[in-house]
Amino acid sequence: MVTSRWTAAPAPVASPRRRGAVLERAILDAALEQLGTVGWNGLTMEGVAAGAQTGKAAVYRRWPSKEDLVAEALRAGLPRLDGAPDLGSVREDLLALCRDARDAMFSRPGLALRSVIHECDPSQAERFQVLIFESVVEPTIRLLHDVISKGIERGEVRADAANSYVFDAMPAMMMYRSKICGCEWSDRELEEMVDGLMLPLLRPHTP
């Protein structure tokens, strides 16, 4: 059984009179909840304040706009991957990484991020591009690089497979099928993708 290495942000701590970091965490948590339930278009600063059980002024004092609030909520809440899997074969490592990516995509912060990606107009979405790259794309590519490099060392993967096109293939497929086809990526679907797409891309060329 593969244990997920995604670590979620800590839950807000209850307090009779929340202030400082505790109140800020409650507001950010409420913003993620709103994004996951009503989406980007339905999220309001008033709704976030109500969800955090605080006044609207407390939200605006910290984040003057909806975009500022959502960017900070995503930055604080998106799961982080602790390290690349190392299960002894590139297939098992890729499957473990895929499961972790799926769990992150369907976590509350992951659903919040997807609502931003799907609903924002281009001018709004532009300000989230750096956040998405730094929090999601870059870590995934780094871990894929680690998995593929280990596969090269074991002789399972050809030496020239560590390139940007190969690194893009798995995240691009998962995002595309999730967004366009509504795919929820069951374990069987992940196995089909790894066996039918990734392993043929990685295997050493036969004479």
Does the CA dihedral 49-55-61-64 come out positive or negative? Answer: positive
CATH 1.10.10.60 maps onto the chain at 12-74
Give pLDDT tens digits along the chain (207 positions). 444 555 555 554 444 456 788 999 999 999 999 998 899 999 999 999 999 999 999 999 999 999 999 999 998 888 877 789 999 999 999 999 999 988 888 888 888 888 888 887 777 777 788 888 888 888 888 999 999 999 999 999 999 999 999 999 998 899 888 878 888 899 999 999 999 999 999 998 765
- Taking domain 12-74, whether its CATH number is 1.10.10.60 is answered by yes
Rounded CA separation 184/168 (Å): 19
Element spanning 47, H or E:
helix 45-51
CATH 1.10.357.10 maps onto the chain at 80-202
The encoded tokens of residue 202 equal 């990685």
The pTM (predicted TM-score) of the whole model is 0.77
Tell me which architecture the domain covering 80-202 has in CATH: Orthogonal Bundle (1.10)
